[in-house]
Amino acid sequence: MTRTLLTLIFLCAQSHSFARENSDSTNRVTICGRLSPANKAPEIRLIENYQTAVPHLQKERSVKVISSADSFYVSIPATDSIMYFRFLNLPPFRTQNTYAVKKGDSVYITDQKKVNGSKNAVNILNCQLQLDKVYYSASMQGRDTLTFSQNLLALADHKFEKGGLVLQAYAPTIEKNFLKLLELNFYLRSYSIFYSVWKRDGRADKDKLDPVRVMNTLVYDKRLDVEQKIWEVSDKYIEYRVFLLMGYFELTSKGTAIRTNPYRKAFDFIQTTYDGMLKDRMGSYLLIKSIQRDPGILPILPIAAETMTDSLAKQTLMSAYHAVRPGKKALNFDLEDENGKTHRLDDYKGKNLVIKFWFTGCTGCAQIKNSMSVIQQKFKDDKSIVFLNVNMSTQKTHWIEGLKSGKYTSSGEVNLYTGGLGIRHPLVKYYQFASAPQLLLINRRGIVYSANPPIPFTEQKTVELINMIKEMR
C-alpha cells in the first residue's frame, strides 16, 4: 500500500481531525475502510438526480474507488445536502438498498463490518442498518393463503411499528428532519407490499374486495402527508405514490360494468387531491409511466404540461413526449449479443427494426412468443425487417437460461442484453419501459415509428401489429 493511501485511510478513520484539516471536507462525502482477505474492493454507486423527485431522471453512477490489497477510499463532491449511495460487496450494507448520507460526513468501514467515523454519520448509517434488520427479520409464510392481501398489510404494519422503536432510540442523536426522512423512507419500503397486492390481482384472496380495501387504506394513509422539505429529499416518495395510485385504479376499474381508463382516473385524482409541486411532480410521473400502458395518453402530455407550474415537472413531461412520439430520431444503443459482439443502432441503417424488450421469468413475454413467431414468419422473405430481442434480466445467467429454454425467443432473431442494468439501462429508461413485454418500432431511417405499438396478446392485436409493420416499410 502506498504512503498516500495509508495517510488517507488514517485520516478517514480519524474523521474529526480530517474535518478540521481539510477545508473542503464539509462539501464532500468520504467513505473508506479496511477489507477482509475474503472481500474484493467494493463498488460504490451514487444515485444522481434523486432530488428532482422525478424517478426516471435518477441514474446510478459508479464512483472511482482507490483501493489496495486491504483498504479502499473514495471522496465525492457533495452536490446536495443529502446524498444516496448503493454499496456493492461492502458488508454490512445490502446491495438492493440505497443509503442516505449527509454532506460533509466521513465514514470508515472496519473489516469487522462496523461503521466508524464522524458521530453524525455513524448514527445515521447505523440507524439505517438497524432498520434493514427489522425489514428482513420477518416474511409472510403461505403466499397462497385466502387472506393474502390482509396478511401482507399486517406484516407491513408490524415492520413499521418495530422500525418506529429503532427510530425512537436514535432520536436523541439524529437531527429531527433527517429522522423524519429516515422514517418516511422506511415507511415506503415497508408498505411497498402494495406491488404484490396489485400484481396478484386478488387471485389468492377469498374475498376479492380485500386487495381493493388494502390499496384504499394505503392511498389515504395520512402518514404519507409529510412536509415538502422532507419528501423532496426522499429517493422513492413520488415513485411510491404514483404506482400506488396506478395499482389502485387498475383494480377498481376491473370491477365496474363500464370500462374506465384507470390511468386517466388516477391523473384526475391527483389534480383534485394535491396541489403545488407535489401535484405537478406526481402528475408528470404518472403520465410518463402510463404511456406504455395506454397509447391514448401520449397526445394529452403537452396539454397537461401547459397546466403545470413546476418547471421541472413540465420539462420532464415534454422530454418524455418528444422521446417517444413518432417521427423522433431513435436513441442509439450499444448492446452485446450472447457471443459478446456489440450491436449499435448504426449497424442497422436501412433496416426496419422490430425490437422486443423482455426478461426471463416474465409470463407475458412467454405468452407472446408464438404470436411474435407468426409475425416473424410473415416477414421472413423481407430482408429489410430485423427482429431484435433485448433482455432486461439483471443477471446474465438468467438471460442465457431464458434463451436456452425456448420459451421467449425464436431462431432468426438477434438476441441482445442490457448488461445487467435491467430497467435502469439508458435505452429502457429513455422509452419509459417499466414492465415487460414491450415493443419498439424503428424505421429504416432510424426514426421512431412507434414506441408503444400493439402487444400481440390476442389475434386482433397480432393483426394490428402486422399492419403497423407493413406501414412502417
Taking only the tens place, the pLDDT of each residue in 247-297 is 999 888 876 555 678 999 999 999 999 999 999 999 999 998 888 788 788
pLDDT value, residue 194:
85
CA nearest neighbour of 94 among 133, 61, 50, 139: 133
Q: How high does pLDDT run on average in the chain?
A: 87
Work out the pLDDT band at 331, boundaries 50, 70, 90.
very high
Q: What are the beta bridge partners of residue 28?
A: 77
**SS3 of the chain:** CCHHHHHHHHHHHCHHHHHHHCCCHHHEEEEEEECCCCCCCCEEEEEECHHHCCHHHCEEEECCCEECCCEEEEEEECCCCEEEEEEECCCCCCCCCCEEEECCCEEEECCCCCEEECHHHHHHHHHHHHHHHHHHCCCCCCCCCCEHHHHHHHHHHHHHHHHHHHHHHHCCCCCHHHHHHHHHHHHHHHHHHHHHHHHHCCCCECCCCHHHHHHHHHHCCHHHCCCHHHHCCCCCHHHHHHHHHHHHHHHHHCCCCCCCCHHHHHHHHHHHHCCHHHHHHHHHHHHHHHCCCCHHHHHHHHHHHHCCCCHHHHHHHHHHHHHHCCCCECCCCEEEECCCCEEEHHHHCCCEEEEEEECCCCHHHHHCHHHHHHHHHHCCCCCCEEEEEEECCCCHHHHHHHHHHCCCCCCCCEEEECCCCHHHCHHHHHCCCCCCCEEEEECCCCEEEECCCCCCCCHHHHHHHHHHHHHHC
Least confident of 189-198, 339-348, 365-374, 389-398: 189-198
**Cβ(32)–Cβ(14) under 8 Å?**
no
Instruction: Please name the CATH architecture into which domain 334-472 falls.
Output: 3-Layer(aba) Sandwich (3.40)
Work out the pLDDT band at 208, boundaries 50, 70, 90.
low
Please name the residues in contact with 150: beta carbons below 8 A apart, sequence gap of 6 or more.
Answer: 205, 210, 213, 214
Position 170 pLDDT exceeds 70 = yes
Position 4 pLDDT exceeds 50 = no
**Cβ(441)–Cβ(472) under 8 Å?**
yes
Residue 15: half-sphere exposure toward Cβ, Cα within 13 Å: 24
Query: What are the two backbone dihedrals, phi and then psi, of residue 441, each rounded to the nearest 5 degrees?
Result: -110, 125
pLDDT value, residue 381:
92
Q: Look up cell 448509517; give the residue.
A: 125
Q: What is the mean pLDDT of residues 361-374?
A: 92
Express each pLDDT in 43-81 by its tens digit. 999 988 776 545 556 778 889 999 887 889 999 999 889
Residue that wins the pLDDT comparison between 63 and 202: 63
pLDDT value, residue 13:
47
Q: What is the mean pLDDT of residues 310-322?
A: 89
Residue 404: exposure state from Cβ atoms within 10 A (0-12, 13-18, ≥19)? exposed
pLDDT value, residue 220:
96
Rounded-to-10 torsion of CA 225, 227, 232, 237 = -10
Work out the pLDDT band at 10, boundaries 50, 70, 90.
very low
Express each pLDDT in 141-153 by its tens digit. 655 566 788 888 9
Position 85 pLDDT exceeds 80 = yes
pLDDT value, residue 163:
97
CATH classification code of 3-118 = 2.60.40
Express each pLDDT in 371-424 by its tens digit. 999 999 999 999 999 999 999 998 999 999 999 999 999 988 999 999 988 888
Radius of gyration of the chain (CA): 24
Please name the residues in contact with 387: beta carbons below 8 A apart, sequence gap of 6 or more.
Answer: 353, 354, 355, 356, 372, 376, 412, 413, 414
pLDDT value, residue 256:
59
Position 1 pLDDT exceeds 50 = no
pLDDT value, residue 201:
62
pLDDT value, residue 145:
60
Please name the residues in contact with 41: beta carbons below 8 A apart, sequence gap of 6 or more.
Answer: 35, 65, 67, 72, 89
Express each pLDDT in 454-464 by its tens digit. 899 999 999 99
pLDDT value, residue 7:
44
Least confident of 20-29, 358-367, 370-379: 20-29
Position 18 pLDDT exceeds 50 = no
Q: What is the pTM of this model?
A: 0.80
Q: Look up cell 422486443; give the residue.
A: 356
Grid coordinates representing 88 are 456493492
For residues 194 and 153, give the distance between their C-alpha atoms in angstroms, rounded to a whole number.
Answer: 8
